[in-house]
């Protein structure tokens, strides 16, 4: 039996996925979390075999939660289940330690298959996202400016897009306000924007805040 922890801030989404997985013979949903912080706590409490993780959530979000889990429980596979299919989301999350990446439009059979694959030590990326990653390597590909961001810059940027202030980001990421400001200035420079309004416009253009 594969013990799974569901992480998504929408209760309807969690309950829907849970009902689907409850019908699988080899899967046992051992807990549900609505934030990255709660996911870290429940991993310690329930010791799951696989974590099914959303990206856009209150608090530290899925990217930072995945990065923390890769340090807290390096052998625990995390599957990202999200609406985001375009880079830099897949690349950033896989670099952060995710073992799998699925689109929320995939079938329950594919979710079950992905859970089984990562539980046995393999990676699983759904076809459309794998194709996007492959195409991004081809010459002439329209490279997203967000691909230039480091993992930490990406995390700070996502929290800025959610309207969080420097002191809130500082508290949640356990960084000093000065360090957060430094990351913020760096990502502004890399993205060639001068304000949050310009950042939001750029994020909308490249689909970075779809579904947020």
What does the pLDDT look like over 12-26, one tens digit per residue?
999 999 999 998 989
**What pLDDT, on the 0 to 100 scale, is given for residue 152?**
87
SS3 32: strand
**Is it the case that residue 67 has pLDDT exceeding 60?**
yes
Topology classification of domain 2-135: Rossmann fold (3.40.50)
Q: Which pLDDT score is estimated for 154?
A: 86
Q: Quote the CA–CA distance of 5 and 47 in Å, as a whole number.
A: 9
> Greater confidence, 208 or 3?
3
Mean pLDDT calculated for residue range 120-148? 74
Pairwise CA distance, residues 118 & 114, whole Å: 6
Q: What CATH number matches the domain at 145-205, 3.90.1150.10, 3.30.70.360, 1.10.10.10, 3.40.50.300?
A: 1.10.10.10
The full set of domain ranges for the chain reads 2-135, 145-205
pLDDT band at 56 (very low <50, low <70, confident <90, very high): confident
Backbone angles phi, psi at 36, to 5 degrees: -65, -40
The answer to whether 2-135 and 145-205 have equal CATH topology is no
3-state secondary structure of 172: helix
- The pLDDT of 75-80, averaged and rounded, is 96
Which pair of tokens denotes residue 195?
Answer: 């304000």
Compute the average pLDDT of residues 197-202.
89
Residue 75, SS3 per DSSP? coil
If pLDDT is split at 50, 70 and 90, which confidence band does 212 have? Answer: very low
For residue 55, pLDDT beyond 50: yes
- Placement of tokens 């980001």 in the chain: 169
């Amino acid at each position: 039996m594969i013990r799974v922890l569901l992480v998504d801030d929408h209760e309807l989404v969690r309950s829907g996925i849970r009902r689907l997985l409850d019908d699988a013979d080899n899967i046992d949903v051992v807990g549900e979390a609505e934030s990255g912080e709660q996911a870290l706590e429940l991993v310690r409490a329930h010791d799951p075999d696989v974590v099914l993780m959303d990206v856009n959530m209150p608090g530290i979000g899925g990217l930072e939660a995945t990065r923390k889990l890769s340090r807290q429980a390096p052998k625990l596979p995390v599957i990202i289940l999200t609406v985001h299919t375009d880079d830099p989301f897949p690349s950033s999350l896989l670099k952060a330690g995710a073992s799998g990446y699925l689109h929320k439009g995939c079938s329950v059979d594919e979710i079950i298959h992905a859970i089984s694959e990562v539980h046995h030590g393999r990676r699983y990326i759904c076809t459309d996202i794998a194709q996007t990653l492959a195409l991004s390597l081809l010459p002439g590909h329209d490279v997203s400016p967000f691909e230039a961001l480091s993992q930490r810059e990406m995390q700070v940027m996502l929290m800025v897009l959610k309207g969080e202030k420097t002191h809130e980001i500082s508290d949640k990421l356990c960084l000093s306000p000065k360090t957060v400001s430094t990351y913020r200035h760096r990502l502004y420079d890399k993205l060639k924007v001068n304000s949050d309004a310009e950042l939001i416009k750029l994020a909308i253009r490249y689909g970075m805040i779809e579904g947020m």
